[in-house]
Each structure stands twice: as C-alpha cells, then as structure tokens.
A and B are shown apart, each in its own frame.
Chain A
C-alpha cells in the first residue's frame, strides 16, 4: 500500500471532470424529464377514466418491479431489435449508449417521480380543487395554477432526495461503456493500473456531493416547514 500514487487523479482530471459533467447532465435531464413525465403519469393514475388509470398504474408497477440494470440493458440491447422487427428495417437502429441512457433514465425515474407527485397532489386539500373549479377554472387550469404548484412545493424535498439517489444510480450506465464519472474512473484505473486510487477518489467525491446535497435538502425542508 506504500506505493499509492494519487497524481494519476490530477493527470486525468479533465477526463474525470468530463465524466462527472455527463453524470450531472444525465441526472438533471432524468430528474426534469422524469418529473414532467411522472407528473403526467400521476394525473393519469388519479384520473376518473379507468383505462387511463390502469395503463398508468401498469406502467409504474412494471418499472418499479424490474431492477434498473435490467431496464438499462433492455433499452440498450432489446428495444432496437424490437423497433427493427416492427419497422422491418434491415439493421436495428443505432441509438447509441448515451442516448439510450437518457431515454432509459427518464422512463425509469418517471415511475418513481409519479408516486411522489401522486402523494403530492393528494396532499393538497381537496377543497382547493373545488375553489378553483368554482372560479371557473378548467381541470387543466386548476391543475396548472392551483394544485400542481402546491403539490410540487410540498414534495420538493422528496423529489430532491430521489434525485440524489438518481445521481448515484446513473453510475450503472458505465456498464454500457458510457464515460460517466464512474466510467471515466474505471477506464483510467485499468489503463494506469491505479484501481485503489481511482475508486477511492470517486467514492470520496460521491460521498461529498451527496452528503452536501442531502444537507441542503434538510435545510430546505426546514424552510418550507416554517413558511407553511
């Protein structure tokens, strides 16, 4: 252990930062896309139209019952083949690992964000919808201006906590050979035979970022609690 050489980290810093940048981008895109898609799913789950309700809850239960890694593989390896068989193309479409990762994470996270937003919508007093309707707002307007802003605000700490989990889960895309933060570290570690150094530094960075973020969420939670 005496020959640990952390200079490898400094030397590969630009590459690592590029990986971290991709991880942050994918996390942000999945959080935003997942929240939007998840909110639509939540509205569908709370809809009075039964087919809509069943379709949405079927989707959510399916996504939540399959391990994330399997979903990643499924979208990367199988969906192109399925598209090929549907369209009758000669070759499966080349989606690419990075783009596939974006689609996968938005679709997967939407199931979790859906459940959070559903709880959020239900946390808004029932009378609020009545008051919005009584003023002549349509369902869409009542949701957009009255219910969802309150639901989102009530659930913001939970949404952010889920985003921190998502930030860690994104590392799984390195198994598709995508150069996210972990992927970049793995490649350097193997090239320079500096596995201990690289993996330690990556772990410390993850810990630092996630711990700082969760402290911020705690602070936010306190602030929201005071305002209400």
Chain B
C-alpha cells in the first residue's frame, strides 16, 4: 500500500532523512518511533507530499508521490492524516469541518456529506458536538473529530503524526481507543507515536528511527520481546521510554 524506498531529504545542507526504506502493506499497522529530531514526522509527511524529498521514491497504492505528474490533491484525498495539533479549522463548526472536503473535493451532495459526518461523529462518540466550534471542545475531543474528519474521505490508509503528543494525559486514552478500534477493522495505518503500549497492542511492525535513518524495522513481538537483539540506539531509546 505504502512503499518508501531510499528516501533522502535535506533542509539546505542538513540531511534530515537518509536512505529511508520501509513498506506498509494493506491492513497493516506500522508504528514509527524514535527520539525527537529523528525525522519520523518528516518521513510521514513525505508520504502524502506535505514535505518534498530530494531522493528516492514513495508510492501509495502504486502512485508515485514524488512524480511531478501526479495529481497530489487527488492522492492526498485518499490518504487520511491526523496531526499533532489537531488542525481543525477554527472558523468552521465541527460539522463543516467534517463536510468541507467531502463537498469540495469528493463533490458529495451536502446532505450525503452531513450524514457521513454525523455517522463518523457518532463513531468517535461526539454526535452532540456537531454544531459547536473546535475551540469549544477539549483537546481529546478535537483530536477525535480530526480522526473523524479524515475518515469522512473513505481513506485507503491513515497517517498519524504524534496524535497524542499535544494532549493532557487523561485524554490520551480516548484518542488511542479510537485508533485501536480502527486498527481492529483492518485500516492500513502508519503512526508516529511515543505510545509504546499502543504499539505493543496493535502494531504489526515497529520502525525505529534515529538521526534521519531507519535503524530498526521489525515485527512488534521481536521489537519488544527481544531487546538484546536490538541495536544500541534502540535499546537506549526503549530503556528511557519504558522506564516511566
């Protein structure tokens, strides 16, 4: 579904990604983790071309992301993305947040879009909030709306860029629960996250990045179950993140 091959990216002379390769198969959940500044957010943003990259190829459902001939809006419309800071549109009601792209991009009739929006709000447990504005919701609620907004487009895959990092601790679980449910339904997911409990529970594979490189790309059981077999950098990261 998502195929990343030898991707490198520079900001000026600073290399943020170097030769990254990995795959996300249909129905697979891959968690990308690593210390901050390791390039994991940059990598996931390359997948739907929110960030350009200079070398290598990324293809989504067989379509090359880096190809200048690719219709990027059309490609992005098929890939859902959830951001660290939610990025709901503050000037639109929750319902309008959910229907905007359905109507403007997918050309769905407004009524069908609203039905779809309500159904997905229901799913994330926020049906009563449809008329409110993003600023009136808690962080956890906003992030659940953001997930619903992405799902409204019937995506073939979902990208999560640290979806719980900006949340208060008591709100993390309500968002993770939605993600777990989604994974259970067989959604193809690529998640940048520090939530190792989530990774352990639902991820099929764990990709560990450091300094712009993919250091580990192994099955979840192998990643957590056999620490001795991990690289030194991964071991250090794991010991830090799992201790507290």
Complex Cα distance A131/B149, Å? 10
CA distance in complex: A153, B92 (Å)? 12
Provide the bound-state CA to CA distance between A196 and B76, in Å.
68
* In the complex, per-residue mask of B73-105: 1 if CB is within 8 Å of any chain A CB, else 0: 110111111010101111100000000110011
The listed residue (B74, B83, B90) touching A136 by CB distance below 8 A is B74
With A136-B74, A136-B101, A137-B73 as given contacts, are A131 and B87 in contact (CB-CB < 8 Å)?
A: yes
Chain A interface residue count, CB cutoff 8 Å, equals 20
Cβ of A225 to closest chain B Cβ, rounded Å: 13
Contact between B87 and A128, CB atoms less than 8 A apart: yes
* Closest residue on chain B to residue A154 by CB atoms: B91
Residues of A contacting B90 in the complex (Cβ-Cβ under 8 angstroms): 150, 228
Write the A142-171 contact mask toward B (1 if CB under 8 angstroms, else 0): 000110011001000000000000000000
Is A47 on the interface with B (CB-CB < 8 A)? no
Given contacts A145-B100, A145-B104, A228-B135, A134 and B91 within 8 Å (CB-CB): no
Min distance, Cβ A121 to any Cβ of chain B, angstroms: 14
A145 to B104 CA separation, bound complex (whole angstroms): 10
The answer to whether A134 touches B48 (Cβ under 8 A) is yes
**B42-99 contacts to A (CB < 8 Å):** 45, 48, 50, 72-74, 76-81, 83, 85, 87-91
CB distance from A147 to the nearest CB of B (A): 10
Q: Which of B72, B85, B101 contacts A135 (CB 8 A)?
A: B101
CB distance from A129 to the nearest CB of B (A): 9
A143 CB, nearest partner CB in chain B, Å: 12
Q: Taking beta carbons and an 8 Å cutoff, which residues of A are in contact with B? A: 125, 127-128, 130-138, 141, 145-146, 149-150, 153, 227-228
